[in-house]
Amino acid sequence: MNSPSQMISISESRTSGAVPLVYLAGPDVFMENWREISDNAKLIASHLGLRAIFPLDNEYEESGDLAASIFEANRAMIDRSDYVAANLNDFRGLEPDSGTVWEVAYAFAKGKPVVGYRSCDSSMLTRLQEAGRCDHAVSADGVFRDKDGLMVENFGAPLNLMVQKCLSGFVLGAVGTALSRISLIHYGKEVNLSTIPGRDKLKSSPSFSI
């Protein structure tokens, strides 16, 4: 874990000219190629004038309560970050990873701008219908209900309203698109991602696309 002397506060970053620190939230930590995903995001961030940090950059205490160690280390990372880029793609179902949702809410509560990203912006209702979990017709009481009879939120957004409203920005794309939006928020200018040095070395899978 990083020591307190290495931590960069939001005020320090924005007033001293320090490179903005971006926490990469998402279920990517569970992927076999997590290191490549992390390295790819850090390369893009560097080109955009940002510094990205990934949960698995932490060194966790193997002895004692490992779960508590991971929790505290990841929370500390968010605390010292200026922004959060959150992978809100569906994970193990039709909702984003629950751990990522917690991190988004925690960052929002701490006043950190969060930019969420997804590979598709289909509404929650549409995804349920396509998965055969919800009828396409409105039920007798005037609302959509899933196969269990539960009302389906229908605001036309891809995320639950409580998550959607935590976001300072939402983009359709991958991590590079989210980092580009953060760069725009921070510096007030857009950067052409196609000019990233070494872009030809980036993988073409959804995890790596920009």
d(CA 8, CA 125): 41
Higher pLDDT, 136 or 94: 94
Higher pLDDT, 210 or 190: 190
Q: Which CATH architecture has domain 4-121+158-201?
A: 3-Layer(aba) Sandwich (3.40)
Q: Where in the chain is the domain with CATH 3.40.50.450?
A: 4-121+158-201
What number is the average pLDDT over the span 159-185?
96
Residue 203 in this model has a pLDDT that exceeds 90: no
Q: Identify the pLDDT of residue 38.
A: 94
Q: Identify the pLDDT of residue 15.
A: 39
pTM, two decimal places: 0.85
Residue 10 in this model has a pLDDT that exceeds 50: no
Residue 1 in this model has a pLDDT that exceeds 50: no
